[in-house]
């Protein structure tokens, strides 16, 4: 029995080393600098959790290959200590405590999802340990006065807000008043979608549009034909839907089945729901917000352009036909750490925190500059339209590669 | 809410649309509910993993469609596959709890439901999936062409009718069907008469899984599936069976269609977030009504 235990220990160690060797480099003259993250490898966030991990790993590899992190004349190689939070917020908080107390990690990358980040924030706050997160977009993370939480992504109230300005603008161009523009909304009852809704409502008030439907979708949504039947009767000019990928898939399927011909439809999570490959031409004309797209003309030092990152990512990891923005923003978070360490010139967590707060950099993922609340205010949300089965950037105009099709093509 | 009611008055054709959608989807509810009634009636097991069986059936359709096979072909595959799965589950789990009290079988099937959910999650991931039939949507050329019928909904309605008819004929005519009915009346008497009740139980449970599998294939082509979506299907089945009773296919069918329609109207009038709440609300109403009914019976006996 003892033999067996020893053998299995050795085997486990060997396997573990094989696992990490992919990103481990000879630490001859560089010391090791450990970032920690509790992120979802199993459970309901596992797919995106692994996308995020791949993003972190790719950026760590890139940083180490290009000379590592230089802090006050010393050279450091980055590495990440991961734990699986099983997609459970309570577990995220426990594992962060463990990373801090037992493993002595002093610098954090975020978990995946707003829910788990919400659980993580009080922990890092308590121990005064900075965390740069890339996957929690909820507005509620940035109105609590957290000092040690920073996010590289755009917050969720920006997801669909830009469609309102767009609709008002189109109405003006067609000689209508914004007050004549009717908006139908269907949002899930969860923190993310309610944030999206809050942003939309603000802009509807600002532009003076008219809300005709304001439905709430259930968490385990699989049928929204009742809502869409109302859309059919009230003929809104703009239809907004947010309910993660299940919302996107259900909406795309039933918009087709019920022949909904609203001229402008915007849905979150089109990419995650893979609606183009599922429903083909019937999805043409949908507007889909995204944090990042490889066609954008963003550029940075570490990875080059967005397109370069896209290429490198696909070459490094098998099985990706498009690079999820979850991976891109995860990589950007690692770049923020490197930049902040080098500017701080120290490993002291307070000094590094202040350096992160003063970040002002351009990356392949867009510009990064943090508000005092910790969210990134330098990068806009991008709106893409499905045109001939492809996602084309149509707003904001500065980065747009195509013109918006209005009204949306209805067969 | 009043706005929505008003809408129905102004545009009555919307009511027709809701009615059609409700009836088409209700027919699929009937399949899973009948399976539950069968298992409940014959072996007194309240199968809490009913919805998970439905979702498993859906994954057959989705998985085959990822290989470019039309999901309709998944129907026989799912029926056979789920029949086998049901048999194995009976032999390994259900046969051990069938004689025990209600609580044990509830716990066992609840556990089974969780295992299936997590198994599907591990195997296929937590994403929402659909199997796309590619069938067109037809417009009914009255009321200005505002009413649409998706061909897949109509076909699945027909398939449900055929399957239900098949099950009824099987229960009436075949030896196994007769044995199942005999066992449901009195297990001990059936045993005395030489019926292998163990085999009857296994067959009943497997048949239930097969019917659920068929329902799942259709659901995946009309709605969406996800490893954790079984629970609402389980609840619907329980509502229907509680309302209709066991061994009463006509009752199950009527209750299912009714539930489908009520759900659509509930979603329309009360808002989409209360669509599933209407189902639970119906369960409550049914239970109250049953209670009143039973009181009345008791009084008559006194």
pLDDT of residue B302: 44
Range of the domain at A359: 29-154+296-369
pLDDT of residue A23: 47
The mean per-residue pLDDT over the stretch A25-44 comes to 82
A261, part of any domain: yes
Q: Are residues A91 and A231 in the same domain?
A: no
CB contact under 8 A, B223 and A223: yes
For residue B152, give how far its alpha carbon lies from the nearest alpha carbon of chain A (Å): 9
Q: Hey, what long-range contacts does A128-132 have (CB within 8 A, 24 or more apart)?
A: A128/A349, A128/A350, A128/A353, A129/A100, A129/A105, A129/A349, A130/A349, A130/A352, A130/A353, A130/A356, A132/A108, A132/A333, A132/A336, A132/A337, A132/A356
DSSP per residue, A92-140 = HHHHHHHHHHTS----EE--SSHHHHHHHHHHHHHTT--EEESS---GG
Rounded-to-integer distance, Cα A327 and Cα B36, Å: 44
CB contact under 8 A, B132 and A278: yes
CB contact under 8 A, B125 and A230: no
* Residue A17, pLDDT above cutoff 70: no
Confidence of residue A131 (pLDDT cuts 50, 70, 90): very high
For residue A69, give how far its alpha carbon lies from the nearest alpha carbon of chain B (Å): 36
Indicate the DSSP class of residue A403. Answer: P
CB B24 within 8 A of CB B154: yes
Q: Are residues A324 and A394 in the same domain?
A: no
The mean per-residue pLDDT over the stretch A225-252 comes to 92
pLDDT of residue A237: 94
CB contact under 8 A, B130 and A278: yes
A12, part of any domain: no
Q: What is the three-class DSSP state of A215?
A: strand
Residue of chain B with shortest Cα separation from A258: B148
A405, part of any domain: no
Residue of chain A with shortest Cα separation from B16: A229
pLDDT of residue B110: 95
Q: Are residues A94 and A170 in the same domain?
A: no
CB contact under 8 A, B223 and A250: yes
* Residue A25, pLDDT above cutoff 80: no
* Residue A201, pLDDT above cutoff 80: yes
pLDDT of residue B12: 82
Residue of chain B with shortest Cα separation from A232: B146
> Residues 6 or more apart from B50 whose CB is under 8 A from it?
B32, B35, B36, B208, B212, B230, B233, B234, B237, B238
**Nearest Cα residue to A59 out of A331, A275, A305, A359:** A331
Contacts of A211 in chain B (CB under 8 A): none
Task: Name the least confident of A55-59, A79-83, B75-79, B280-284.
Answer: B280-284
CB contact under 8 A, A234 and B127: no
Contacts of A253 in chain B (CB under 8 A): 130, 132, 224
pLDDT of residue A7: 55
**Nearest Cα residue to A268 out of A153, A381, A131:** A381
CB contact under 8 A, B132 and A44: no
The mean per-residue pLDDT over the stretch A343-354 comes to 94
Interface A-B: count of C-beta contacts within 8 A: 105
pLDDT of residue A5: 52
Confidence of residue A236 (pLDDT cuts 50, 70, 90): very high
Write out pLDDT tens, residues A100-129.
999 999 999 999 988 999 999 999 999 999
Q: What residue spans of A306-382 are helical by DSSP H? A: 306-316, 325-344, 349-357
* Residue A398, pLDDT above cutoff 90: no
Write out pLDDT tens, residues A265-302.
999 999 888 899 889 888 999 999 999 998 888 999 99
The mean per-residue pLDDT over the stretch A314-324 comes to 89
Indicate the pTM of the whole model. 0.82
Rounded-to-integer distance, Cα B115 and Cα B93, Å: 12
Residue of chain A with shortest Cα separation from B128: A246
Residue of chain B with shortest Cα separation from A273: B128
A245, part of any domain: yes
CB contact under 8 A, A253 and B127: no
Q: Are residues A164 and A198 in the same domain?
A: yes
A82, part of any domain: yes
- Residue B290, CA distances (Å) to B35, B262, B284, B285, B301 in order: 22, 19, 10, 8, 17
Residue of chain B with shortest Cα separation from A87: B126
pLDDT of residue A3: 55
Q: Are residues A336 and A308 in the same domain?
A: yes
For residue A250, give how far its alpha carbon lies from the nearest alpha carbon of chain B (Å): 7
Q: How is residue A204 written in tokens?
A: 């509807």
A13, part of any domain: no
**Nearest Cα residue to A257 out of A228, A300, A217, A221:** A228
Rounded-to-integer distance, Cα A324 and Cα A326, Å: 5
CB A295 within 8 A of CB A307: yes
The mean per-residue pLDDT over the stretch A8-34 comes to 58
CB contact under 8 A, B231 and A220: yes
Q: Are residues A150 and A178 in the same domain?
A: no
Sign for the CA dihedral angle at A66, A72, A75, A81 comes to: negative
- Comparing CB atoms, the residue among B223, B265, B272 nearest residue A216 is B272
* Residue A330, pLDDT above cutoff 80: yes
- For A61, the enclosing helix (H) or strand (E) is helix A46-65
**Between these two residues, A84 and B297, which has the higher pLDDT value?**
A84
Q: Are residues A275 and A350 in the same domain?
A: no
Contacts of B7 in chain A (CB under 8 A): 230, 233-234
The mean per-residue pLDDT over the stretch A166-174 comes to 90
CATH number of the domain enclosing A323: 3.40.50.2300
Contacts of B265 in chain A (CB under 8 A): 226
Number of domains into which chain A is organized: 2
Q: Are residues A185 and A145 in the same domain?
A: no
Q: How is residue A239 written in tokens?
A: 């239809």
Residue whose structure tokens are 């350096």: A355
Contacts of B229 in chain A (CB under 8 A): 220, 222
* Residue A4, pLDDT above cutoff 60: no
- Residue B138's DSSP bridge partners are B149
Contacts of B281 in chain A (CB under 8 A): none
The mean per-residue pLDDT over the stretch A157-164 comes to 91
- Comparing CB atoms, the residue among B126, B132, B232 nearest residue A279 is B132
Q: What residue spans of chain B are helical by DSSP H? A: 2-10, 13-43, 50-66, 74-89, 95-97, 102-124, 151-173, 175-185, 187-192, 197-222, 230-244, 249-270, 275-301
Q: Are residues A195 and A273 in the same domain?
A: yes
Indicate the DSSP class of residue A75. Answer: E
- Comparing CB atoms, the residue among A43, A229, A256 nearest residue B268 is A229
* Residue A1, pLDDT above cutoff 50: no
Left if phi > 0, otherwise alpha if psi is -120 to 50, otherwise beta: which for B41? alpha
Percent of chain A with pLDDT over 70: 93
* Residue A18, pLDDT above cutoff 60: no
Q: How many CA atoms lie within 13 A of A305 on its CB side?
A: 6
pLDDT of residue B214: 96
Q: Are residues A176 and A208 in the same domain?
A: yes
Q: Are residues A331 and A265 in the same domain?
A: no
> Residues 6 or more apart from B284 whose CB is under 8 A from it?
none
A11, part of any domain: no
Mutation site, A257, A319, A411, interface B, largest B CB count within 10 A:
A257
List of chain B residues with pLDDT < 70: 1, 247, 297-302
Q: Are residues A278 and A390 in the same domain?
A: yes
A226, part of any domain: yes
CB contact under 8 A, B14 and A229: yes
CB contact under 8 A, A246 and B226: yes
């Amino acid at each position: 029995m003892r033999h067996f235990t020893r053998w299995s220990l050795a085997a486990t160690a060997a396997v573990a080393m094989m696992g990490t060797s992919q990103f481990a480099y000879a630490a001859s003259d560089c010391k090791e600098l450990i970032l920690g993250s509790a992120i979802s490898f199993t459970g309901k966030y596992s797919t995106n959790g692994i996308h995020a991990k791949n993003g972190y790993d790719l950026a760590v590899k890139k940083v180490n290959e290009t000379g590592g992190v230089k802090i006050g004349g010393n050279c450091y190689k980055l590495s990440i200590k991961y734990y699986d939070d099983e997609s459970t917020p309570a577990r995220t908080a426990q594992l962060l405590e463990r990373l801090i107390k037992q493993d002595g990690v002093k610098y954090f990358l975020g978990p995946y999802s707003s829910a788990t980040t919400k659980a993580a924030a009080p922990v890092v706050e308590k121990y005064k340990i900075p965390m740069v997160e890339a996957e929690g977009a909820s507005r509620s993370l940035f109105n609590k006065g957290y000092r040690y939480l920073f996010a590289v992504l755009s917050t969720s109230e920006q997801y669909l807000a830009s469609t309102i300005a767009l609709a008002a603008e189109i109405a003006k161009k067609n000689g209508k008043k914004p007050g004549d523009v009717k908006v139908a909304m269907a949002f899930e009852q969860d923190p993310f979608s309610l944030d999206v809704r809050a942003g939309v409502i603000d802009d509807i008030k600002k532009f003076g549009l008219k809300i005709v439907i304001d439905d709430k979708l259930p968490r385990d949504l699989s049928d929204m034909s009742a809502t869409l039947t109302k859309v059919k009767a009230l003929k809104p000019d703009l239809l907004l839907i947010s309910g993660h990928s299940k919302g996107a898939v259900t909406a795309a399927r039933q918009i087709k089945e019920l022949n909904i011909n609203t001229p402008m439809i915007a849905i979150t999570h089109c990419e995650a729901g893979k609606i183009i490959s599922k429903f083909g031409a019937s999805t043409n004309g949908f507007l889909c917000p995204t944090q990042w797209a490889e066609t954008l003309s963003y550029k940075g030092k570490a990875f080059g352009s967005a397109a370069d990152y896209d290429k490198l990512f696909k070459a490094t990891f098998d099985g990706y036909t498009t690079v999820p923005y979850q991976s891109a923003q995860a990589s950007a978070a690692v770049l923020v750490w490197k930049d902040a360490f080098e500017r701080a010139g120290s490993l002291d967590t307070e000094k590094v925190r202040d350096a992160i707060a003063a970040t002002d950099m351009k990356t392949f993922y867009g510009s990064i500059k943090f508000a005092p609340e910790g969210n990134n205010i330098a990068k806009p949300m991008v709106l893409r339209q499905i045109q001939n089965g492809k996602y084309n950037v149509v707003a904001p105009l500065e980065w747009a590669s195509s013109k918006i099709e209005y009204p949306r093509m209805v067969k | 809410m009043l706005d929505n009611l008003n809408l129905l008055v102004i545009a009555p054709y919307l009511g027709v649309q809701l009615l059609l959608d409700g009836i088409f989807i209700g027919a699929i509810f009937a399949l899973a509910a009948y399976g539950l009634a069968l298992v409940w009636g014959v072996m007194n097991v309240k199968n809490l993993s009913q919805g998970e069986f439905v979702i498993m059936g859906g994954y057959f359709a989705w998985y085959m469609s990822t290989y470019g096979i039309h999901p309709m072909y998944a129907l026989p595959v799912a029926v056979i596959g789920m029949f086998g799965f049901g048999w194995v589950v009976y032999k390994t789990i259900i046969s051990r709890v069938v004689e025990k009290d209600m609580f044990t079988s509830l716990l066992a099937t609840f556990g089974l439901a969780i295992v299936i959910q997590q198994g599907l999650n591990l195997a296929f991931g937590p994403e929402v999936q659909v199997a796309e039939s590619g069938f067109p949507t037809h417009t009914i050329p009255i009321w200005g062409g505002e009413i649409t019928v998706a061909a897949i909904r109509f076909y699945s309605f027909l398939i449900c009718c055929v399957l239900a008819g098949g099950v009824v004929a099987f229960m009436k005519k075949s030896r196994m069907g007769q044995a199942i009915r005999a066992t449901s009346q009195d297990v001990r008497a059936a045993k005395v008469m030489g019926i292998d009740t163990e085999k009857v139980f296994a067959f009943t449970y497997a048949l239930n899984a097969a019917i659920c599998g068929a329902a799942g294939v259709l659901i995946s082509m009309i709605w969406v599936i996800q490893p954790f979506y079984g629970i609402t299907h389980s609840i619907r089945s329980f509502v229907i069976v509680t309302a209709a009773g066991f061994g009463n296919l006509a009752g199950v069918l009527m209750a299912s269609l009714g539930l489908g329609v009520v759900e659509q109207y509930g979603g329309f009038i009360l808002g989409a977030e209360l669509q599933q709440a209407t189902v639970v609300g119906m369960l409550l109403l049914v239970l109250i009504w049953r209670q009143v009914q039973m009181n009345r019976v008791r009084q008559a006996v006194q």
